[in-house]
Amino acid sequence: MTATNEPEPALRVEGITKAFGELAVLRGVDFAVRPGSIFALLGSNGAGKTTLVRILATLTSADAGSATVAGHDVAEAPAEVRRAISLTGQFAAVDEILTGRENLALIARLRHLDRPAEIADAMLDRFALTEAGGRRACTYSGGMRRRLDIAMSLIGDPQVIFLDEPTTGLDPQSRIEVWETIRQLARGGTTVMLTTQYLDEAEQLADQIAILHEGTIIQNGTLAELKALLPAAQVEYIEKQPSLEDVFLTLVGER
């Protein structure tokens, strides 16, 4: 047998199925994700994205199939999986009465970590929130609140973070702030599984993209591999018009 230098996948999913009554949500899902990469799971509403995340995060069980997260089986070693992961849902789970610093210190204390105040200050600095650290979270913009939410999720240095539609409801500028935060996570070695309905989000961020449709993965690969599935359009001349997002960000930046 020839030894390989391929690392153990951070996520390995094989034949996962899940039904709610007669409604089959997942019909045999398979994929693997390498450590330190950003994996985007695309799908429309009801495709089963959140259900799959809940299975991987040990919040619900699969009907069949197997999955490992950071080398731990989600069914046989759920406690080990929970210690290795963090989960951020579609809406920021911050306490708006507390300041940003207090939110972070609270999570550090709940995780029984030493020096929670120092941990909070380090996370504020990491996510460019130091100046806002003494303000109540209710005064934060949507992008700041989401960055604080992600910072809270990273306390304890999880190996894998699940981001379930992290930019839902955010304005364009806040979305870009969150995108840069996600890139920083991957650069730091954290494996990110991102569910989204926004195609541009996956295009901007993901090292690997899978499309979940009617309960199964119908395509899985890099952006270049997915684009190669369609023939290139032949264009003699094209004039690129600025998008509304380009206009918005330029005008806001100028002010």
What domains sit in the chain, N to C, each tagged with a CATH number?
11-225 (3.40.50.300)
pLDDT confidence of residue 69:
96
pLDDT confidence of residue 1:
44
Burial 71-103 (b: 16+ CB within 10 A, else e): ebebeebbebbbebbbbbbeebebeeeebbbbb
- List per-block mean pLDDT (blocks of 10 residues) for the chain, which spans 255 residues: 70 96 94 95 87 94 96 95 86 85 93 92 90 94 86 88 85 83 88 89 92 90 86 69 69 59
pLDDT confidence of residue 130:
93
What is the distance between the alpha carbons of residues 48 and 26, in angstroms, rounded to a whole number? 6
pLDDT confidence of residue 229:
82
Phi and psi at residue 54, to the nearest 5° = -65, -35
Task: Let me know if 220 is exposed, middle or buried by CB neighbors in 10 A (0-12, 13-18, 19+).
Answer: middle
Helices and strands (H and E) in the chain: how many: 9, 10
pLDDT confidence of residue 45:
82
Distances 153 to 25, 139, 160, 181 between C-alpha atoms, Å:
27, 20, 10, 12
233, amino acid identity = A
Token readout for 242 is: 């600025």
pLDDT confidence of residue 90:
67
* pTM for this predicted structure: 0.81
